[in-house]
Amino acid sequence: MKNIDSYGHVRGESLFIDDINVQQNTLLGLVFDSPKAHGIIKKLDLTEAEQIEGVIKIFTYKDIPGENQIGGIIADEPLLAEKEVHFVGQPIAFIVASSDSIAKKARALIKIEIDELPVITRAKEAAEKKHIIGTPRTFNLGNTTKAFDKCAFIFEDDVFTNGQEHLYLETQGAYAVPTENNCIKVTSSTQGPTQVQKAIAKVLGIGMHIIEVDVIRLGGGFGGKEDQATPWATLTALASYLLKKPVKFVLNRHDDLRMTGKRHPYESNFKIGLSKDLKIIAFEADFYQNAGAAADLSPAVAERTLFHATNSYFVENVKTSVYSCRTNLPPNTAFRGFGGPQGMFVIEAAIAKAANEIGVTSKEIQEANLLQENDVLSFGQIMTQTEATSSWNTALQNFNYKKLVKQVDEFNKENNDYKKGIALMPICFGISFTNTPMNHARALVHVYQDGTVGISTAAVEMGQGVNTKMLQIAVQTFAIAADKVKLETTNTTRVANTSPSAASATADLNGKALLKACLAIVGRLKTAAAEDLKVNEEEVSFQNELVYVNGKKSKLTWKALISKAMLARIALSEKAHYATPEIHFDKTIEKGHPFSYHVYGTAIITTTVDCTRGTYTFDAIKIVHDYGKSMSEGIDLGQVEGALAQGIGWMTMEEISYDNKGRLLSNALSTYKVPDIFSIADEIEVIPLETTGNEMAILKSKAVGEPPLMYGIGAYFAIQNAIKAYNPDYKLKFHAPMTPEKVLMSLYQ
C-alpha cells in the first residue's frame, strides 16, 4: 500500500496550518520576545506600537485570565514573561493585528529595558552553581567501586554532544476560532493535542470541554512539537477567546529558530573498566544535560539517557547519573531518540577510547559485550527476544565485513591524500513511554451504512506514515478496499485524553486500540452474517468485500451485510481502549520493566576523508535492522533512511552555536548546516533482520521512528578511524559534531 499522503503532498493539496482557508477578518498574531538571556524587565513600553492602525491588541501576562503557566512536568514556565526573562526568544508580549506586516511594524516599535543578570549557557557551569531542575537520577547495578579493583584496564574521559535543531519543514503555528456558546476550536500543528487543550484550559481558566483541538497533520515534528507547539497554540487561543475573533499565528523561520528549544547538548564523563579478555566489567558515567531555562520535557529526556547508557551491551556493574541543568537558553526539548542518543554516544566513546589505548579495534570490544538472552540492564529489565548478536552477526556476514575492512586497509596503504575509516554501530532502543501511565490510546471506528469506514485515533500524522499504517489495520481487518476507509483528523472531541504522538510508540498504541475496535465490529458482523446465511459463526470470514463460509465465497457482500446489520439495529461503531500490558517502573528504587520490547540493529559505515581539506564523504552505509515483521516496508525503510540522515547530521555537521550572551549564532540555514542528499552515503543498503516478530508490536511490526537515528553515531567513529589512519599521533576526541573544521585540526594535531 502506498503512503496515503503521497498524492496530496506531491500535488501540494495536503493541508498544513498555513493552508487552511481562514474565516473573514482573521487576525494575525506575532510574538515580541526577549532580546536578553537573563534579566529583570524594568520597563515595557507598548504605546507607540499600540497606536499603529490595524493593531488590535497587544497581550501581556496581565491579560491572562487563568494561570500564566504552561510547564508540563514541572510548573516553571510562564506563557508570557512577567518580571524576569530567562532566555533570548522568551515570549513577552503577543501582538494581534489585522495583517502580518502591521504586526511586524508594531513589534519593531515595542520598547523594553532590561537590567541584565549573569547568563549561563553551559550545563556544567549551571551544575557548579547548583542550578539543577528536579532531582538528579542515578541507576545502579552491581558495585562499580569494587568492580574497578578487578579490572585489567580502566579509562576515563570527557564527552560532549551538541544540540540539534528540529528543522521541521512546517514551522510552529496554530489557528483559533471562536465557536458558539463561548467555546473555541484550535487547529494546531502539535504532536500532543491533549497537551495543548490542557494548557489552554489552564491559561484561560476554563474547562477542557470548552476547547476543541484539531490536528490535520504536521509538516514534521521530530519531538519539536511534542511540548513546544503548546505556547503558540495557547497564545492564539488566548487572543481568539478574549477578542471573540479568529486568530492565526504561524512563526517565520527565524522566530522559530530563535524561540524554540532543541535537542539537549550534554557534557558527560565516563569511567570504563575492562578485563583482559575485553569484557566491560564496570561502567560509570555522569551526564550533565543542558536543559535550558525551563524544565519542559528535560527530566523525561534525562531518564531515557540512563535507560540507554549501556546501549546494546551487558555490563555487570553500572553507575550512571544524570543532572538536568538550568541554563539561559530556550528550554531544550524532545528530539528523536529523546536522550537515548546522548547516552549511547558516551559508551561508544568509552569503547573507542579503550580500544585505542589497549591496541585493539572497537569491534572486538563491542562484540565481546553484546547483550545475550536474559541479560539484565542497569534498571532491572531482563532482556528477552534479544537480537543484539543476531543483528551483529547478520551484518558481518551479509555485508562481508572482512572484505570491507580489507578494502579500507588496502586503500589506506596506497593513498596519502585520502584516508578511509570504517565503524560498526549496534543499537538497542526501548519502546514505550518511560513514564508508564502514558502508555495508552484509543480509537473510534464508524462503519457507515454504505459499508465505508471512518477512523479516528490519537495518532498524529507528521510525515512518519502512521495514518497509512492505521488505514492498513482497518483495511486488513474488515477486508475492504483502501478507498473505502477514511482517516479522520486527530481531534480531542473524538479521541480524548491522548498521549502525544511520540516515543516511537504511536503506531503500536493507537494501532492496537484500532485493531481492538475493528475486531469488535467484525465480531458483531460475523454473528449477523451467520444468522443471515444460517451457518455457524466460526465458519464465517471476510475477504475482498465478500462474506466467506468455510473459506468459500457466499452471495452475501460486505455492503449488503452492513445494510442488513443496520436494519437489525446492530452497532456499527466502536470505541476501543488499549493500555500496554506488563510494563512497570518504580522510581523510588529505579528498577522495573519499563519497555514493552527493544528494537535492535547493526550498521556498518565507511567514510573517505579528504586529508587536505578535512572534508569527508560516506562511501557506504549497510544496515541490518530489526523491523520485527514490517507491516509496511516502504514506510519503515523511509523511517530508517530519514533517521539515519538525521543521526549523521547530528554527529557530523549540525553545529548549534550560542554566544556567551545566550544569543543563537546559528540562526539561519546559511550558518546551520543540515544534511542534504550529498551528505548521505553513495550506497545505502538496509536489510531486515529475520525474526519471529514481537506480539507487543502492532501486527508484530516493531516501532521504527527513533531507533535508526542512532546508526548515525557510527559515522562519528568511522571519521575518527580515518583520521587515525592519516595521523597516528591523533588523540581521540569525543566532541560532536565532528565538523570538517575539527577533522582538519585533528589531521594535523
Q: What minimum distance in Å lies between the beta carbon of 336 and ligand MOS?
A: 5
Nearest 5°: the CA angle 78, 83, 87 is 60
Strands 137-141, 183-188: pairing is unpaired
Q: What minimum distance in Å lies between the beta carbon of 214 and ligand MOS?
A: 19
By beta-carbon proximity to ligand MOS, the closer residue of 273 and 707 is 707
Q: What minimum distance in Å lies between the beta carbon of 25 and ligand MOS?
A: 35
Reading the block at residue 180, the C-alpha cell is 458558539
Q: What minimum distance in Å lies between the beta carbon of 436 and ligand MOS?
A: 15
Reading the block at residue 695, the C-alpha cell is 506480539
**Judged by CB under 6 A, which stretch of 330-338, 553-561, 626-634, 665-673 contacts ligand MOS?**
330-338
Residues 738 and 718: their CA atoms lie apart, in Å, by 11
By beta-carbon proximity to ligand MOS, the closer residue of 307 and 401 is 307
By beta-carbon proximity to ligand MOS, the closer residue of 336 and 724 is 336
Q: Which of 105, 17, 94, 33 is nearest to 259 (CA)?
A: 33
Q: What minimum distance in Å lies between the beta carbon of 594 and ligand MOS?
A: 14
Q: Quick one: CA torsion of 91, 97, 100, 105, rounded to 10 degrees?
A: -80
By beta-carbon proximity to ligand MOS, the closer residue of 499 and 720 is 499
Inter-helix orientation angle 340-358/713-726, to 10°: 30
**Judged by CB under 6 A, which stretch of 42-50, 52-60, 333-341, 475-483 contacts ligand MOS?**
333-341
Q: Which of 49, 119, 334, 528 binds ligand MOS (CB under 6 A)?
A: 334
Closest residue to ligand MOS: CB criterion? 223
Inter-helix orientation angle 340-358/298-307, to 10°: 40
Q: Does 336 bind ligand MOS (CB under 6 A)?
A: yes
Residues 375 and 531: their CA atoms lie apart, in Å, by 53
By beta-carbon proximity to ligand MOS, the closer residue of 647 and 688 is 647
Residue 592 near residue 380 (C-beta atoms within 8 A) = yes
Q: What minimum distance in Å lies between the beta carbon of 294 and ligand MOS?
A: 17
What one-letter code names the amino acid at 117? L
**Judged by CB under 6 A, which stretch of 76-84, 334-342, 392-400, 529-537 contacts ligand MOS?**
334-342
Q: What minimum distance in Å lies between the beta carbon of 303 and ligand MOS?
A: 12
Is 364 strand, coil or helix? Answer: helix
By beta-carbon proximity to ligand MOS, the closer residue of 432 and 606 is 432
What one-letter code names the amino acid at 456? S
Reading the block at residue 267, the C-alpha cell is 557534557
Residue list 485-524, contact with ligand MOS (CB under 6 A): 502-503
Nearest 5°: the CA angle 505, 506, 510 is 120
Residue 429 near residue 340 (C-beta atoms within 8 A) = yes
Q: Which of 32, 87, 287, 338 binds ligand MOS (CB under 6 A)?
A: 338
Q: Which residue has the cell 503521497?
A: 6
Q: Which of 94, 266, 307, 335 binds ligand MOS (CB under 6 A)?
A: 335
In the residue annotation, 590 being an active-site residue is answered as: no
Q: Does 431 bind ligand MOS (CB under 6 A)?
A: no
Q: What minimum distance in Å lies between the beta carbon of 302 and ligand MOS?
A: 13
DSSP state of 265: P
Q: Which of 717, 738, 731, 711 is nearest to 422 (CA)?
A: 717
Q: Does 223 bind ligand MOS (CB under 6 A)?
A: yes
Q: Does 191 bind ligand MOS (CB under 6 A)?
A: yes
**Judged by CB under 6 A, which stretch of 164-172, 332-340, 555-563, 733-741 contacts ligand MOS?**
332-340
Q: Does 72 bind ligand MOS (CB under 6 A)?
A: no
Size of the site for ligand MOS (CB under 6 A): 9
Residues 77, 212, 284, 706: which is the catalytic one? Answer: 706
By beta-carbon proximity to ligand MOS, the closer residue of 139 and 338 is 338
Residues 718 and 722: their CA atoms lie apart, in Å, by 6
Reading the block at residue 295, the C-alpha cell is 524544565
Q: What minimum distance in Å lies between the beta carbon of 741 and ligand MOS?
A: 28
By beta-carbon proximity to ligand MOS, the closer residue of 333 and 746 is 333
Residue 119 near residue 37 (C-beta atoms within 8 A) = yes
Inter-helix orientation angle 633-652/713-726, to 10°: 50
By beta-carbon proximity to ligand MOS, the closer residue of 105 and 336 is 336
Helices (H), 534-581: 558-567
Q: Which residues contact 415 (CB under 8 A, 6 or more apart)?
A: none
Residues 522 and 55: their CA atoms lie apart, in Å, by 56
Q: Which of 226, 256, 296, 636 binds ligand MOS (CB under 6 A)?
A: 226
Report the catalytic residues. Answer: 706
Residues that bind ligand MOS (CB under 6 A): 191, 223, 226, 334-336, 338, 502-503
